[in-house]
Amino acid sequence: MRRICKAAVLVVLAGSYSLPAFSSIAAWQFAGTTYDVQWNDNNVEVNLTRDNTVNESIIKAECRSALTLPVRAKTEREIIAAGVITQPRWQNWPFADVSVEIDNLRYSNVTATSATCKGDISISNMEKDLERTAFLYAQFFAETSDWDSLRAVAPKLLKLPEFSNDTAGLITVMLAEIKPEQSRSYYQEYVASNNISRNETKSLLARWLWRSGYLHESLRMVEKCQSDECQYIYENVSIQLLETEANSVDDLGAYLN
């Protein structure tokens, strides 16, 4: 299959995005689990071994997810080659957000610490995988205060409608650290009236609003966010608001004594 290149914000290499047509073997490790992966064309096989025991449903889910490792690794290499990022987050684990279809999924030799699975991998949308992975990195840069890297990737993401609002939210968090006098005006102009869709961006913005004393805005930012971090912020800001309102009532009552 030959891909016809077109103008795009994230420049990618010409050619097919399918897995290599020759047999390849790689090993990845993460959180005490080793994944030995081999693939030929779009057929992938994973042999998984864990340090700790888990039940069958968990180890099957881990094995199934690992079938996407070659695609995730390729996606990460593509955005590095395109100059979107300069180096991977981890050396032995691909940090990428991809959407694939897995057909003919089979499991064998499943135990409490190991499993083998096979499947045929189809990539749904290469451009979207690259864009989602670029934003995943932008989010990581914001969470780790890597502002130089965020500044490098943000202009590309601001041109993508799916990610522009959340990217503006991440820029607000950056400005709060490096140019705090500009963060509020930037937020009001580019973020406050727009829809922030991702929980991680909401929690970063809500925490900044909380620290800045904008408690009602912080609550609104996380009221429809279901992540643990958002729930933590919501509960604590709610308590602080109640305490603030109670103190205000006490101050008013003092004039009557």
Average pLDDT rounded to a whole number, residues 108-126: 94
Residue 176 pLDDT: 96
User: Could you tell me how far CA 179 lies from the centroid of its own chain?
Assistant: 25
Tell me the pLDDT band of 16, cut-offs 50, 70 and 90. very low
Identify the CATH number of the domain defined by range 24-129. Answer: 3.40.1720
Average pLDDT rounded to a whole number, residues 102-122: 96
Comparison of pLDDT for 255 and 47, the residue scoring more: 47
Q: Could you say which DSSP state residue 216 is in?
A: H
Check whether 251 has a pLDDT greater than 80: no
Burial group, residue 78, by CB count within 10 angstroms (0-12, 13-18, 19+): buried
125-142, pLDDT tens digit by residue? 989 999 999 999 999 999
Residue 193 pLDDT: 73
**Tokens 């205060």 sit on residue:** 145
**Distance in angstroms (rounded) separating the CA atoms of residues 43 and 7:** 31
200-244, pLDDT tens digit by residue? 999 999 999 999 999 999 999 999 898 999 999 999 999 999 988
Residues whose CB falls within 8 Å of the CB of residue 156, separated by 6 or more in sequence, listed in order: 9, 10, 84, 134
Mean predicted lDDT score pLDDT of the chain: 87
Average pLDDT rounded to a whole number, residues 146-170: 95
40-57, pLDDT tens digit by residue? 888 999 999 999 999 999
Residue 114's CB is within 10 A of a number of other CB atoms, namely 15
What would the two tokens of residue 147 be?
Answer: 């502002």
71-109, pLDDT tens digit by residue? 999 999 999 998 888 888 998 889 999 999 999 999 999
Residue 42 pLDDT: 87
Farthest CA pair distance, the chain: 86
173-210, pLDDT tens digit by residue? 999 999 999 999 999 999 987 889 999 999 999 999 99
Residue 202's CB is within 10 A of a number of other CB atoms, namely 24
